[in-house]
């Protein structure tokens, strides 16, 4: 057996016992106690990449990115395969959190992803064209799944307007974990992963407002959303876009637009008077003119935006009770 080579062997019973106990403690949120056990396991088997992978994972849970990077680099140094190891993914997350772009690029490439730009490029790994995805904000609290654009394998720019309970804003960039928990599918058959937020990576200066609209038709509502988009900001009809799901539903494969139209969504757990497609139904009506709408726009613009929307069709549009909520 080679101590510092890449030869593999079965870890000792003491290593397995310490590691198993540590992950039980992690599940209970006892990170300090788990850290002591995983450090002991690494002392017992320092030539095992798993020893350092587990420590890197713990430091990721604790958001201790310097330690996560250090342990992750020790793990990948002991790997016995060239590409695709999750050890590299954890290194990429830690490097992204620290804005260590050369290491982030190296990690994604070592994992097997194409990163545009030269190997010596020290800038952000932009232009990876990973498409859209959903991210679960505050996964351990009042979790909310929103849509976003993937900037790289560890960051999503939030393009929905989150509810104020999430503490997040439109346009923010969040760091997310690598393993998706759930999927959202569209009527066209496309499937999008749902990643869990780790932490806020870049805040947004754009506040979130809530306003009550009187929109006679869906076209009136759509007009406000388009007007906000044309101005470089966003509006979102929370009355239609918000569904209240249990954790089991949220982490499963769910239709993204279920609940729209004339059918009822069996997964929507909203109640009358609360956000969600079911909560905004009334007997005999599929469209309710009063809509609760989120708006992401600067204070200097938001009222003018709403007034301009009304001025385009004063007989079918109105607004009231504008409030900054996040």
Length, in residues, of the chain: 326
Distance CA 242, CA 271 (A): 12
Question: What is the share, in percent, of the chain residues with pLDDT greater than 70?
Answer: 82
Taking the CA atoms of residue 29, residue 30, residue 36 and residue 39 in that order, the dihedral angle to the nearest 10 degrees is -10
Q: What is the pLDDT of residues 271-316, one digit of tens each?
A: 544 455 444 444 445 789 999 999 999 999 999 999 999 999 999 9
Question: What is the share, in percent, of the chain residues with pLDDT greater than 90?
Answer: 64
Provide the sign of the torsion angle of the four alpha carbons 17, 20, 25, 28, taken in this order: negative
Residue 211 bridge partners (DSSP) = 293
Distance CA 276, CA 265 (A): 10
CB environment 37-69: b (16+ within 10 A), e (fewer) = bbbebbebbebbbbbbbbbbbbbbeeebbebbb
Work out the mean pLDDT of the chain and round it to a whole number.
85
- The average pLDDT across 5-14 equals 70
Domain ranges of the chain: 13-111, 127-257+266-278+286-325
CA 65 from centroid of its chain's CA atoms: 18
Closest CA to 96 of 77, 113, 78: 113
CATH number assigned to the domain covering 13-111? 1.25.40.10
Distance CA 145, CA 246 (A): 12
pLDDT of 264 over the 70 cut:
no
Higher model confidence: residue 128 or residue 8? 128
- The average pLDDT across 192-216 equals 95
Least confident range of 11-15, 51-55, 95-99, 263-267: 263-267
Q: What is the pLDDT of residues 113-141, one digit of tens each?
A: 988 876 556 678 877 888 889 999 988 77
Q: What is the pLDDT of residues 151-166, one digit of tens each?
A: 999 999 999 999 998 8
DSSP alpha helix (H) spans, the chain: 13-27, 31-44, 49-61, 65-77, 86-97, 101-111, 218-230, 238-241, 247-250, 299-312
Q: What is the pLDDT of residues 24-44, one digit of tens each?
A: 999 999 999 999 999 999 999
């Amino acid at each position: 057996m080679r101590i510092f080579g890449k030869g593999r062997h079965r870890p000792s019973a003491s290593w397995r016992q310490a590691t198993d106990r540590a992950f039980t403690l992690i599940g209970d949120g006892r990170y300090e106690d788990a850290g002591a056990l995983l450090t002991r396991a690494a002392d017992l088997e320092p030539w095992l990449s798993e020893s350092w992978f587990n420590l890197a994972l713990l430091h990721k849970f604790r958001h201790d990115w310097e330690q996560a990077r250090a342990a992750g680099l020790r793990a990948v140094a002991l790997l016995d395969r060239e590409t695709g190891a999750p050890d590299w993914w954890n290194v990429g997350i830690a490097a992204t959190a620290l804005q260590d772009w050369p290491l982030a690029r190296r990690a994604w490439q070592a994992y097997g992803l194409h990163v545009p730009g030269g190997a010596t490029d020290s800038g952000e790994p932009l232009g990876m064209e990973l498409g859209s995805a959903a991210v679960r904000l505050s996964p351990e609290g009042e979790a909310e799944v929103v849509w976003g654009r993937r900037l790289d394998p560890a960051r999503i720019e939030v393009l929905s307007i989150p509810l104020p309970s999430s503490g997040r804003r439109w346009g923010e960039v969040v760091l997310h974990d690598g393993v998706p928990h759930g999927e959202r599918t569209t009527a066209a058959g496309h499937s999008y992963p749902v990643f869990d937020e780790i932490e806020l990576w870049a805040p947004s200066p754009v506040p979130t407002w809530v306003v009550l609209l009187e929109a006679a038709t869906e076209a009136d509502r759509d007009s406000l959303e388009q007007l906000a988009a044309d101005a470089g900001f966003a509006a979102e009809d929370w009355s239609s876009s918000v569904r209240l799901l249990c954790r089991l539903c949220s982490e499963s494969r769910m239709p993204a637009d279920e609940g729209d139209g004339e059918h009822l969504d069996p997964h929507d757990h909203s109640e009358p008077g609360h956000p969600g497609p079911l909560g905004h139904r009334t007997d005999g009506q599929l469209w309710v003119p009063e809509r609760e709408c989120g708006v992401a726009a600067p204070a200097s613009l938001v009222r003018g935006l709403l007034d301009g929307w009304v001025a385009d069709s004063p007989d079918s549009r109105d607004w009231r009770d504008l409030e900054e909520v996040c």
